[in-house]
Structure 1
Amino acid sequence: MTAAPPSPVPVDPGTLHAVAAGAYYDPHAVLGPHVGDGAVTVRTLRPLADRVVVVTADARVEARHEVDGIWCALLPGTAVPDYRLEVVYGEWTTTADDPYRFLPTVQELDRYLVREGRHEQLWQVLGANIRTYPGQLGEVRGTSFAVWAPNARAVRVVGDFNHWQGATHAMRSLGESGIWEIFAPGVDAGARYKFEILAADGSWRQKADPLAKGTEVPPATASVVVESRYEWSDDAWMADRSTRDPHAGPVSVYEVHLGSWRQGLSYRDLAHQLTEYVLEMGFTHVELMPVAEHPFGGSWGYQVTSYYAPTSRFGHPDDFRYLVDCLHRAGIGVIVDWVPAHFPKDEWALAQFDGTALYEHPDPLLGEQPDWGTYVFNFGRAEVRNFLVANATYWLEEFHVDGLRVDAVASMLYLDYSRQAGQWRPNQYGGRENLEAISFLQETNATAYRRTPGIMMIAEESTAWPGVTAPTSAQGLGFGLKWNMGWMNDTLRYLREEPINRRYHHHEITFSMVYAYSEHFVLPISHDEVVHGKGSLYGRMPGDHWQKLAGVRALQVYQWTHPGKQLLFMGQEFAQQGEWAESRSLDWYDLEDPAHRGVQQSLRDLNALYRATPALWQLDHTPDGFEWLASDEAGLNLLAYVRRGVDTPPAVVVVNFAGVPHEGWRLPLPQGGAWREAFNSDSEVYGGSGVGNLGRIEAEPVEHYGRAWSTTIRVPPLGAVVFVAESTTEPSPRAETV
């Protein structure tokens, strides 16, 4: 009796129709190779094809059309061979690989870690990742796509490679992980794509990839497959970074908006021009306002839609790597602004990603930020927290970034941030603290410092929340540094006053030392202080042109010698007269005025002095590093203090915010001996009036302000002088009292 010929593995008609429409949750269960009845059934979805042939190393097997573009062929035997598909459309024949013959690219361990919120290299699993596989018919190269969309009914990839018709690239659900996956042979770097998601309500929506490593140039919104081929040249920097504590070293930061520093530059242009400028100016770090992709340039990058993609406005992600690499090879650290506090509501991005509140909190009292018209992340959901924690790691590891400045931390910490009574929901204990956001920040900081030693995590936090820079082991948030917004507000408010009135506001300029050691601080004069009608630093200073420039120079000496690290926004280093606008370049033409060049030279020399004088930064975070010499000279608008380091000569700073010089003012000194006038902001080289002390002073054994040593000096108008001791010893004085 002759055996019946093998039959294809059966599939019910309803499932076939759903698969043909790209609306089935497990297309791999139907398409691709399946062993049964002594043969291998191969099904493939090739709409509009006239003929399909399955080609192996040993045979060519004609497929027959079943339904709605699904073709079926039977291969002999029970072992699945390597095969390709020869597809005929009229007079055109093409050979393609079958995306449905590959095993899942997201392994069980990866799925477990995603569910638990513990996948610290999430970008290697989700998103678009190029992979290669060996085969009897040759190596297969393509892109694996994976996306988290747990409430979707179906997901498919649309892009250049399938004419934006996704049925032929429907993804399979990987069960309770909520991940959907497919490997697409032949899809290579540069391909544009989106995920097309079938929501529970039956509607389809096209979404950019949350973990896209590249994007189209805005306003276009597609994601782009990226393969990095960059070879780093900063090995020495990275090796050194891992062994040192940057919080204990000199930190003077130049804050930059890449699009308006000099308009029209690419990442590679900036790599040369910005690096050369920052190196010349002597800053230790640059801080880049957000570079993650954002659709609206006027948001300055703070409305992020692709958290894993450097903005394509300035080039490829490898071009951004080149920028970081060049800065590192010049000895300059790179800090990037990071925005986990909120995200915009653009329908093609993260908002309502799978038809539900997925990344955002479903409760509008917790999931919306009224100030900015944005959504707030659901910090308590494991997968969302994982998305953000891994994103921090991604910038630090993949782009060698040396620090993240975390934006709008206060908005995360408080449930009632910018909300009136009845517009917020208390936590489980009835308080206003966002316990889930606190836990998220602690995890982010702990993970970043553990995985990438030598980096900095910096909080922009505007309240008196305790323990922002305390370690997580002590229930702190675990940041390394915090922006000192109080210092910034008090200082700028004081300087807005006419010099004759400053005596009545003296406490504003000294108050920062009351709390200077409550956290580890950065002193910021950031972009927020020179925009939206606030004017530039130059414009906020009272007086005529000379007085304004002198005021800027004096402020910068006060900032650079005050305990804490320093940050200055671009353009303020040469006292740009106009307010900053992201739509135009800095007012570089101001430097045609020698007086503005003087401010620039002053800051260049100040940076050099700062880096060469450990007393100005070694003990920034301990009271041992600072002591007042004269804090109550309100009538003179004058401050004097000493900065100390470890086994290094101390530095004495005198700052005069009065519009007149003080001749013969007696300066108390912490020790005897000679002192070098290391810096004078009133030097004629900087455009000042030249009131100085002939480069050197000598301590006298004359008691003053409780000090055994003192001397008389000339204090310049709207100026600051820094004296550095010529020895670290303190000779025993025979004091005279005055």
Structure 2
Amino acid sequence: MKKPADRQQIDAEIQLVTELRHPEPHRVLGIHPDGDGVVIRAFRPDAAAIHVIPDFGGRISMEHRKGGVFEARLNGRDQVFNYLIEVEYPGGKVFTLRDPYSYTPTLGELDLYYAGEGRHEKLWDRMGAHLIHHHGVAGVSFAVWAPTAAGVSVVGDFNSWDGRLHTMRRMGASGIWELFIPEVGEGTRYKFEIRPNGSGPAMLKADPFAFRTEVPPATASVVHDLRRFTWSDEKWLSSRGEGVPAQKPWSVYEVHLGSWRRVVEDGDRPMTYRELAPALSDYLKRVGFTHVEFLPVAEHPYGPSWGYQVGNYYAPSARFGHPDDFRFLVNHLHEEGIGVIVDWVPGHFPKDAHALGKFDGTALYEHADPRQGTQPDWGTLVFNFGRNEVRNFLIANALFWIEEYHVDGLRVDAVASMLYLDYSRRAGEWVPNRWGGRENEEAIAFLRELNEVIRRKHPGVVMIAEESTAWPKVSQPVSEGGLGFHFKWNMGWMHDTLRYFSKDPVYRQHHHNDMTFGLLYAFSEHFMLPLSHDEVVHGKGSLYGKMPGDPWQKRANLRALLAWMWAHPGKKLLFMGGEFGQHAEWNSDRSLDWHLLEDSGHKGIQTLMSDLNRLYKDIPALYDADSEPIGFQWLQPDAAASSVFAFIRRSRTPGRHVVCVANLTPIPREGYRLGFPRVGTYVEVLNTDAATYGGSGLGNMGQIQTEARPWDGQEASAVLTLPPLSVLWFSTGVPASPAISATEPSAAEAPPERLLSSA
């Protein structure tokens, strides 16, 4: 027989329950052995009457004890039992429900231990809201980390958003609060009502681990079952780990989901995930990209942030559909042979009241000191990477997108802002590390742990750093002192190249070094060459708009830029619209200008892009030694007076190579001698001045014959025609682009006076 509970102690605990400050309300509420029987208590502050309906039959009245706590005692029973409670409210409304306080915890000791250690690699399986069967009853288990809170409740559609009805229990010293609520179903909206320790009103917070959200600007979390979607991309997943990423072709098309293509006839709304699936995959296959990279898909409160201020790290944006609709999009892309990369933002998060900031009334996910915890550039908060639970939240999130949404890579945003304590801060506005330096040791350790975990668990997935400084070994393994990324965006190449191409050709000879300098460090990292969304917003203009000259010259310059980029060492990334010469600067609230493809000049740019991607994938010399000095050799790096550049791309397979030559003035150059590695026939596999691309049609009639005359340090050479504002590729044994004509060249699309107009 259990000794009856001390009534005075129980009264004190009931008082805490009514004040919503009890750390373990299950100790008071629910069913408990007591003396020679059991006691059942329920907290329903507005109830007129409550009855207990035991599973063995009968109906027992509960006595109102204090402040909305009702109690019933059953003597002569030595075992607890299942029951329902029937709650009657003034006016006669009656609700019959299972008592959430009659259930044991849904979290185990190992979960709490690994979460506290920061080593729970499937943390999302235990935290947040999960549809489960607990003791044979269907419902939702809720769990949230709020270590300093005085009390936490689950509120939602199921309890009229009343924080008094479902207070949670604190799981020991873990700081995690837990509650199983029976009969809550999928699609239910909810939040956590958190009462800070000390003064201050209760806060309504979205679930940090919510798998689904309302459509912004609404901010509630939504119960979602991750187990319902059926994948069919096994073939893709089983093959993506084959080979070494640095030795594969990567041609990445960067997409903003809301503005790639909009449905004009339906209020100019964005396409949904399911609408995008066939349209985007068909387009990517036609133009030949190997991967698509989405700007952040995680839910975000402010649309114009483009997703870079994340409010819900575990939920795809509801703006474009249901979470399983995003899975459908990824699955469809995989079935069509296209990889999926997602932008991921672990450096900072917004200050919106419903999000992570001051989550339990204290600086929980962020640093308390604003010199460490705020990001002045973006008005956001910075994650506290020194806290186990925060590192675990982020590393588990990276794994979540890989395991639950099958993404093939994460492009980590704003890595430089994470690495440096003084990033965008003046003297006195930042806190040095323990050695007095500016390096953020906690963030460095986090990035290394993150990349090691991903490499260990998912060897076919790539991690890409947007890192704009000279930090060493960003893309080298952690075992070699690196950060462990697979690729690093080459921001220096991007700035130098765009600066050069933006110059009128008459001045380019004075900026020749912009095009050659990047080769001094091209093999220090595994680089990806980005012409990203950042280069076509905020007054920077489109890629087409950056090009000098009249419309014909702008298109010719853009074609030359793309072919130069696709021949240059480094993987490729191009923001949407650049592949056909979008005129306007990118606007996230409107569609790309697809009507431009009705113009033959813009259609020609798109055709060139398709040929570039086809040849790039067909010719290993263009990609398999991207990060190795053996993969590149200058032929003519110093022809500044004529603005000509020429180099060889070599494959890891001996003897296989491509010769690339660029004439970046509008002056055609006849009789131009260039060195080649061997005597024989070379196919002109690409000519950006081909008439099909919108060019003048000058060229070398599809092929050349080299002679045994040493030139440019090579054993052979040939005399070429270099068309205006063009890039040519020559190779052996590779079919030419269909656009390259073997007939007599013509200048039908551009009269000679135009070609010479800015000479």
- Specify the TM-score bucket, using the shorter chain as the normaliser: over 0.9
- Contact 1:38-1:78 within 8 A present in 2 as well: yes
TM-superposed CA distance for 1:463, in Å, is: 0.3
Whole-Å separation in 1 of the counterparts to 2:133 and 2:244: 40
Deviations 1:513-559 (A, max 9, x none): 00001110000000010111110111111100000001000000110
The residue aligned with 2:38 is: 40
- Contact 2:246-2:624 within 8 A present in 1 as well: no
Whole-Å separation in 1 of the counterparts to 2:258 and 2:128: 27
- Contact 1:243-1:453 within 8 A present in 2 as well: no
The residue aligned with 1:172 is: 169
The residue aligned with 1:389 is: 395
Which of 303, 307, 311 in structure 2 is aligned with 1:301?
A: 307
Q: How does 1:124-523 map to 2 (within 5 A)?
A: 124-135=125-136, 140-203=137-200, 204-228=202-226, 229-263=228-262, 264-523=270-529
Q: 1:7 to 1:92 in 2, by over 3 A?
A: farther
The residue aligned with 1:712 is: 719
Mapped pair 1:662 → 2:663: no
TM-superposed CA distance for 1:244, in Å, is: 3.7
Residue type matched to 2:103 in 1?
A: F
Whole-Å separation in 1 of the counterparts to 2:422 and 2:145: 30
The residue aligned with 2:266 is: none
Q: 1:244 to 1:134 in 2, by over 3 A?
A: farther
- Contact 2:295-2:343 within 8 A present in 1 as well: yes
Q: 1:641 to 1:6 in 2, by over 3 A?
A: closer
Deviates more, 1:12-21 or 1:290-299: 12-21
The residue aligned with 2:739 is: none
Which of 692, 702, 709 in structure 1 is aligned with 2:709?
A: 702
TM-superposed CA distance for 1:33, in Å, is: 1.3
2:637 is paired with a residue of what secondary structure?
Answer: strand
TM-superposed CA distance for 1:100, in Å, is: 0.8
Q: 1:337 to 1:437 in 2, by over 3 A?
A: same
Whole-Å separation in 2 of the counterparts to 1:242 and 1:456: 10
Q: Report the TM-score, using the length of structure 1 for normalisation.
A: 0.96
Whole-Å separation in 1 of the counterparts to 2:701 and 2:79: 92
The residue aligned with 1:653 is: 660
Mapped pair 1:80 → 2:80: yes
Residue type matched to 2:575 in 1?
A: F
The residue aligned with 2:618 is: 612
- Contact 1:9-1:37 within 8 A present in 2 as well: no
For structure 1, list consecutive stretches of 5 or more residues without a partner in the other structure.
728-738
The residue aligned with 1:676 is: 683
Whole-Å separation in 1 of the counterparts to 2:627 and 2:32: 66
Residue type matched to 1:224 in 2?
A: V
TM-superposed CA distance for 1:48, in Å, is: 2.8
Q: 1:634 to 1:554 in 2, by over 3 A?
A: same
2:699 is paired with a residue of what secondary structure?
Answer: coil
TM-superposed CA distance for 1:68, in Å, is: 2.2
Whole-Å separation in 1 of the counterparts to 2:245 and 2:219: 38
Whole-Å separation in 2 of the counterparts to 1:366 and 1:6: 53
1:572 is paired with a residue of what secondary structure?
Answer: coil
The residue aligned with 2:115 is: 114
Whole-Å separation in 2 of the counterparts to 1:81 and 1:141: 17
Deviations 1:29-68 (A, max 9, x none): 1011111202121111223333322223313233222222
Which of 10, 13, 18 in structure 1 is aligned with 2:11?
A: 13
1:14 is paired with a residue of what secondary structure?
Answer: helix
Q: 1:177 to 1:120 in 2, by over 3 A?
A: same
TM-superposed CA distance for 1:134, in Å, is: 4.3
Whole-Å separation in 2 of the counterparts to 1:57 and 1:170: 25
RMSD: 1.6
Whole-Å separation in 1 of the counterparts to 2:45 and 2:184: 19
TM-superposed CA distance for 1:6, in Å, is: 9.8
Whole-Å separation in 2 of the counterparts to 1:80 and 1:718: 85
1:167 is paired with a residue of what secondary structure?
Answer: coil
TM-superposed CA distance for 1:9, in Å, is: 7.2
Q: 1:9 to 1:608 in 2, by over 3 A?
A: farther
Q: How does 1:612-651 map to 2 (within 5 A)?
A: 612-647=618-653, 649-651=656-658
Whole-Å separation in 1 of the counterparts to 2:509 and 2:3: 99
Deviations 1:12-39 (A, max 9, x none): 3232133134332111110111112021
Residue type matched to 2:144 in 1?
A: V
Residue type matched to 1:654 in 2?
A: V
Which of 27, 30, 34 in structure 1 is aligned with 2:28?
A: 30
Deviations 1:316-365 (A, max 9, x none): 11111111001100100000001111111112211111111111111111
Whole-Å separation in 2 of the counterparts to 1:707 and 1:323: 49
TM-superposed CA distance for 1:273, in Å, is: 1.0
TM-superposed CA distance for 1:7, in Å, is: 6.4
Deviates more, 1:64-73 or 1:347-356: 64-73
For structure 2, list consecutive stretches of 5 or more residues without a partner in the other structure.
263-269, 735-759
Residue type matched to 2:310 in 1?
A: V
Whole-Å separation in 2 of the counterparts to 1:151 and 1:371: 30
Whole-Å separation in 1 of the counterparts to 2:566 and 2:482: 27
Whole-Å separation in 2 of the counterparts to 1:248 and 1:711: 31
- Contact 1:22-1:168 within 8 A present in 2 as well: no
Q: 1:142 to 1:320 in 2, by over 3 A?
A: same
Mapped pair 1:691 → 2:698: yes
Residue type matched to 2:509 in 1?
A: R
Whole-Å separation in 2 of the counterparts to 1:366 and 1:308: 25
Deviations 1:194-226 (A, max 9, x none): 111111223211111111111111111111111
Whole-Å separation in 1 of the counterparts to 2:153 and 2:56: 33
Residue type matched to 1:86 in 2?
A: E
Whole-Å separation in 2 of the counterparts to 1:428 and 1:475: 20
- Contact 1:126-1:146 within 8 A present in 2 as well: yes
Whole-Å separation in 1 of the counterparts to 2:253 and 2:80: 60
Deviations 1:106-138 (A, max 9, x none): 111111111111111111111111111344xxx
- Contact 1:649-1:726 within 8 A present in 2 as well: no
Whole-Å separation in 2 of the counterparts to 1:99 and 1:37: 23
Deviates more, 1:388-397 or 1:11-20: 11-20
- Contact 1:6-1:39 within 8 A present in 2 as well: no
Aligned residues between the structures: 720
- Contact 2:158-2:184 within 8 A present in 1 as well: yes
2:281 is paired with a residue of what secondary structure?
Answer: helix
TM-superposed CA distance for 1:274, in Å, is: 1.0
- Contact 1:565-1:620 within 8 A present in 2 as well: yes
- Contact 2:245-2:486 within 8 A present in 1 as well: no
- Contact 1:121-1:390 within 8 A present in 2 as well: yes
